[in-house]
Amino acid sequence: MHTVVLLSYFGLLALSLAYENLALKKPTYQQYALTGYNSPLYDASNAVDGLKSDLTYYGGQCVYFGGGLTVTCWVNLTSIHSIHHVTIYYITGPSNFYTMTFLGFSLYISNTTDKSQGTLCFKDSNYTSSTIPPVVNITCPIHGQYVIYYNERLANVSYPPDYYSYAAYDFLCEVEVYGCRIPGFYGSNCSIPCPDPNCHQCHIETGTCNGCKPGYQGHQCKEECDYGFYGQNCIYNCVSTCDGCNNIDGGCDYGCKPGWKGVDCSESCLDGTHGHNCNNTCGNCLNVNECFHTNGTCLTGCEQGYTGDLCETRCDNGTYGSECNNTCGHCINEDVCIHTNGTCLNGCDSGFVGPLCKTRCDEGYYGTECRQVWVV
């Protein structure tokens, strides 16, 4: 997939003009950086300064680093870009030592400084000290923020005869990363919009979608995130109190689940209210205004005379009291009693007395309110 093309300086210039050098003047890092009086001559920033007029050891335009088992140098493009190719200018000079240190290098493109999280664009396994050129062009049409140059000379590993095997060094003079600065475009001059409207990243040559815009998924990025998810690659969970959320940024555009309110659905309903938008009032709860804020269920049961989960149903069919578990007494004309305390509304039926009409007349009495006396 990834190839290395060796070009003359004129051919390289023609190719590079089609894309922008994204690495110019960008932040850099080098492992085992030199310190001391001459260290600015070999700082990693020299690899992206755009200067290529003197690529010798003392020219002040190159990077020198190394001396350990591994060497790493990277340039931070400061954001994810669509990359087409990377051009590496090596140090030049009469010493064969330089070319021996170049051999076996790797190039990674990553969204972090960790190369293991990125994509390996190229690993040298064929060059010799006499065949590796001073300018190498590596085609790598992928997206990334960090371009990482890596080499190693590990202990107890046998390297080819041309490799300098005692330690890892690298002498780079310029690293140019060519591609498109603006995401969502492709083509030789980065002027063609990616063909899929919801595509955030597409192949810089073919336009094939390589990554969806936040909120979309699928091969052609035509599918919105599944319910309850949003964002880049649809990996983020909506706030649990949202009644679904905006697939792009996670906003609670569709409102809150019952029991919640506010722009981000983080506020619970006030005491005494519940349900969608907190528009419902608690029923006849035993402790006034103490119902569950989502569905209105009374937390400690119902007031006298009411029943049901929401305590909104009055006792009927001759019942009253707590959870309507009590039966009305002998009310006059079979009238019902007050649903809260069982008092008969129009008094007691003949032969009964008391506020609940459950007490029979004393012996020797009868009739309404037990006012009549038996005559013997």
Q: Note whether 121 and 86 are within 8 A (CB).
A: yes
Q: Same structural domain for residues 326 and 202? A: no
Backbone angles phi, psi at 102, to 5 degrees: -70, -35
Q: Same structural domain for residues 26 and 166? A: yes
Indicate the pTM of the whole model.
Answer: 0.62
Residue 221: domain span = 186-237
Per-residue pLDDT band at 15 (split at 50, 70, 90): very low
The pLDDT score that the predictor gives to residue 11 is 39
Tokens standing for 174? 């310029």
Nearest CA to 136 out of 77, 176, 82 is that of: 176
Tokens standing for 200? 């955030």
- The angle formed by the CA atoms of residues 249, 119 and 19, to the nearest 5 degrees, is 80
Nearest CA to 23 out of 158, 174, 166 is that of: 174
Q: How far apart are CA 287 and CA 285, in angstroms?
A: 5
**Cα 248 to the chain's mean position, in Å?**
10
> What's the chain's length in residues?
376
Q: Same structural domain for residues 12 and 159? A: yes
**Is 70 exceeded by the pLDDT of residue 42?**
yes
Q: Note whether 52 and 173 are within 8 A (CB).
A: yes
- pLDDT tens string 69-111: 999 999 999 999 999 999 999 998 877 888 999 999 999 999 9
Largest CA distance in the chain: 146
The pLDDT score that the predictor gives to residue 121 is 95
Asked if the structure places residue 34 within a domain, the reply is yes
Q: Same structural domain for residues 101 and 165? A: yes
Q: Same structural domain for residues 77 and 130? A: yes
User: Cα–Cα distances in Å, from 334 out to 328, 329, 330, 338, 346?
Assistant: 9, 9, 7, 13, 10
End-to-end alpha-carbon separation of the chain, Å? 121
- pLDDT tens string 182-235: 888 899 889 898 888 888 888 999 888 888 889 998 877 888 999 889 998 899
Q: Same structural domain for residues 219 and 116? A: no
**Is 70 exceeded by the pLDDT of residue 14?**
no
The pLDDT score that the predictor gives to residue 263 is 87
**Is 70 exceeded by the pLDDT of residue 375?**
yes
Q: Same structural domain for residues 201 and 329? A: no
Q: Same structural domain for residues 325 and 226? A: no
DSSP 235-278: -EEPPTTBSS--TTT---TT-BPTTEESTTS-EEPPTTEESGGG
User: Cα–Cα distances in Å, from 55 out to 101, 134, 260, 264?
Assistant: 16, 10, 66, 58
- pLDDT tens string 313-342: 999 888 999 999 999 999 987 778 899 999
Q: How far apart are CA 155 and CA 190, in angstroms?
A: 45
Q: Note whether 256 and 241 are within 8 A (CB).
A: yes
- DSSP letter (8 states) at residue 213: P
**In the predicted model, what is the mean pLDDT of residues 245-269?**
90
The pLDDT score that the predictor gives to residue 280 is 92
- pLDDT tens string 361-370: 998 888 888 9
Q: Note whether 290 and 309 are within 8 A (CB).
A: no
The count of structural domains within the chain is: 3
**Is 70 exceeded by the pLDDT of residue 34?**
no
Determine how many CB atoms are found less than 10 A away from the CB of residue 84. 25
Asked if the structure places residue 369 within a domain, the reply is yes
